[in-house]
Amino acid sequence: MGAVAGLLLPVAAVGAAIVALRLHSGIRSRAVLLALVVCVGLGLSSLTTTWLLALGMVIGRSFVVVDSMLWTFVGAIAWWHIRRLPSASQRRAAESPRPVTTTDWLARGVFAVVAVMAVVSAIVAYTAAPHGEWDAWAVWNQKARFLYRGDAGWSALLANDWSNPGHPLLVPTIVARLWAYAGAELTIVPVTVAMVFGASIVTAVVGALDAGRARAWIAGSVLLAAGTFVQQVASQQADVPFAFFLVSTLVVLREATVAIGRTEGDPVGSFLLAGTLAGLAAWTKNEGLLVVAATAALVVWRALPQARPRLAGWWVVGAAPALVTLAWFKLVVAPVAPAYLTEAPTIALLLERFLGPERHAVVDPLLWQYASAWGGPLAGGVVPLSLVASALVAVTRIGRSTRSILAVIGVMFAGYYGIYLLTSMEIEWLVMTTVDRLLVQVWPALVLAAFLTDDEPAPADATAAAAT
């Protein structure tokens, strides 16, 4: 129960703050908003935990007292502000819900079956490996134990080379914080965090595609039908939380673009949320810097033609807390290069490995082999099929949002590929041990791109712009 309280406190406080600041006005789907509140709450609790550690506090009973007081204070201030907000005299009328057809019921039924199978599969995997897969117990959960047990020496413990000391701390700090609330290192905590992020991904994708439409539930079924995705949820590694922050950043930016196009209120809140989500992606894994770079370019492309540079400024404000925390961590606590990039990337090395055919000849067939089989025996080939489907949508008149999403995914793929070419590690081993997880990171965004078009009306569960 203590861990549940620790999870709900920041979620409730962040939810109240989002409403008090009216950051939700650009989010039309309640499902998307719910997923954002839960995962942004967890993400920000990671940042506050890191800041308390940086100030000299250790994770224990006193930490729980201070942390709970902090989030209670934030929630109380937000609630007080909500009570002072004037009642909205006019609310945007929600569109009449579409009649539910036989096709809709069939799509929802298929989704329900696939979702139940996915949950059962995740539970079975947890039962078989309660500590998660290799990187979970060797890196992410181990770092959480360093934080939970390490007292004032936690930063020295992180210097353990084999646990990749430079990896960002979002997942370990969330787990260690909830262990502190629980008063014990319960294995149910990290798997619950993983399943919360996994469920939030599905919620965000279905909500973004409009839960009143059959294709939203078909997309949810496709998302969960990939056995590799479900297996990675149960693995307790950081790639599923990363996938949430990537896809939710794209969803929120898309909502902001729609709001600008329809002149529906001020999209400042959406840009602030998008920046926060992109920053949290960087605080989750090193690959998050690609998300920051790609979405920053997307923000500039969206904001400047509208002569609204302040929107880009609000995106920066949202991203700043996580990026500043990441910079402190990388420069002060763990100033080490990732294991896969130990060589300094000189011009000569870049030219040799990018332009020479030797590494391409090794990497390319390996990537095709693993990418074409990704998803498991019942869903092999879903990655190339989704890429083809997304490309077909992107070339149409209603594929503007899909083009933006594919551009960001393209930046992610280019970054992954560049690392494979540059690494000093054994290439076959690195591809074999990482490509499944890297594809999990972009899989929800790829499913969204394949099903998203710019012709749909506001979602049936639209929230009023002035709702409080």
List Cβ neighbours of 4 (8 Å cut-off, separation of 6 or more). Answer: none
The percent of residues in the chain predicted with pLDDT above 90, rounded, is 66
Mean pLDDT of 24-42: 92
- Whether the per-residue pLDDT at 97 is higher than 80: the answer is no
Mean pLDDT of 416-437: 92
Query: Using a CB cutoff of 8 Å and minimum separation of 24, what contacts does 52-55 make?
Result: 53/147, 53/154, 53/173, 54/328
- Whether the per-residue pLDDT at 460 is higher than 50: the answer is no
Query: Which residues share a beta bridge with 29?
Result: 462
Q: Which two tokens stand for residue 126?
A: 């947890």
Q: Which two tokens stand for residue 246?
A: 């990537």
Among candidate residues 36, 80, 76, the one with its CA nearest the CA of residue 269 = 36
pTM, 2 dp: 0.92
Output the pLDDT for position 87. 60
Per DSSP, helices labelled H in 133-187 are 134-135, 141-149, 154-157, 170-182
Output the pLDDT for position 156. 81
**Contact by Cβ (8 Å): 82, 21:** no
| Spatial distance between the Cα atoms of 314 and 95, rounded to a whole number of angstroms | 30
Output the pLDDT for position 464. 38
- Whether the per-residue pLDDT at 82 is higher than 70: the answer is yes
Q: What is the pLDDT of residues 307-363, one digit of tens each?
A: 578 888 999 999 999 999 999 999 998 888 787 777 667 787 788 888 888 899 999
Output the pLDDT for position 465. 36
Output the pLDDT for position 262. 64
Output the pLDDT for position 439. 96
**Contact by Cβ (8 Å): 241, 197:** yes
Confidence of residue 467 (pLDDT cuts 50, 70, 90): very low
**Phi and psi dihedrals of 79, rounded to 5?**
-65, -40
Q: Which of 160-164, 182-186, 262-266 has the lowest mean pLDDT?
A: 262-266
Mean pLDDT of the chain: 89
Cβ burial, residue 87 (10 Å; 0-12/13-18/19+):
exposed
- Whether the per-residue pLDDT at 51 is higher than 70: the answer is yes
